[in-house]
Structure 1
């Protein structure tokens, strides 16, 4: 019986992950987006909360007032940037499914990009795959 208990505990302990969860994982409340040809700033109205949810298993979801707008897969990677060749973190989003049309005019659905700022409290990334792209700012929920 003692051996069975020891094997059980070793199995349970062996299945737990010591890998730290990446800082990007969690729920983020959208506070603003800036960009476009005119350099516009778009913010949510009081009755229109937007949430970006990033899971540890690579799910990327955008919600409007708890209704799912967009679901996709994401992947984090590093790449060398510009002339200084410094490493930058990239949030790549693929296989997106639009579940419903957004009700906020000119609201940019987040498509991933280069992460400019990431902390316990704030996430900011810029879509760097086009001209006049938007940068998106979030705070952790």
Structure 2
């Protein structure tokens, strides 16, 4: 009986480890590198929601592997600079988040927390109580 159980275990373990997991669909890339299309911003003192439809403009953020960054509004370059990310940054005594910081010659932004889930990028102000949260989707 032990030999049969051992043989079944080896066959099962071998078939599991032989699978090619590279072909399986994943939840999306966790890398911020890529092009991101703005979906909406929510926040401010009044808790407003701003979308491309309500604002009359589109925004596209592009993060490159060399740490450069570009923001386009209606396909016109608005901002360029560099970005860096800091994983698991402790920004208060009780809270940690992955942090994104964009900077350039004429640009220094406040750090924001970011989260990527299923090719959706969420940016949230961490040091401003009534700041905006932004949502972007990865462009294919």
Length-normalised TM-score, structure 1? 0.65
- 1:39, distance to aligned residue in structure 2 (A): 0.8
The corresponding residue for 1:42 is 50
* 2:30–2:116 CA contact under 8 A, matched in 1: no
For structure 1, which runs of at least 5 residues remain unmatched after alignment?
Answer: 1-20, 99-109
1:132 correspondence with 2:140: no
The structure with the largest helix share of the pair is 2
Structural RMSD (CA)? 2.5
Residues 93 and 111 of structure 1, relative CA distance in 2, 3 Å threshold: same
Which stretches in structure 2 are left out of the alignment for 5+ residues?
A: 1-28
Q: Which has the larger radius of gyration?
A: 2
Describe how 1:60-75 pairs up with structure 2 within 5 A. 60-75=69-84
State the TM-score, normalizing by the size of structure 2.
0.66
**Matched positions, count:** 108
